[in-house]
Amino acid sequence: MDELKLQTPNRGDENFKKRVVLFSNAVTETVDENGVVVRAIDKEWLRYMLFLCCK
């Protein structure tokens, strides 16, 4: 009998990648205390860009 995969795909990473493609100007990168690059989306910049698009 086949074993079941008991994990769901990480939709957060998929959604982040889609937003990076659509709104690359809203992506920020910083380096944490361990030297790891941390990517995030600047919410204020994203709101501003969406405001301009939806006028």
- pLDDT for 23: 84
Q: How far apart are the C-alpha atoms of 36 and 43, rounded to whole Å?
A: 21
- pLDDT for 1: 62
Query: pTM for the complete prediction?
Result: 0.56
- pLDDT for 33: 92
- pLDDT for 6: 79
Q: What are the CA-CA distances from residue 23 to residues 7, 14, 38 (Å)?
A: 29, 14, 17
Render pLDDT for 7-55 as a digit per residue (tens, 0 to 9).
Answer: 887 888 888 888 888 888 888 888 989 999 898 889 998 888 888 877 6
Say how many C-beta atoms besides its own lie within 10 A of residue 26's C-beta.
19
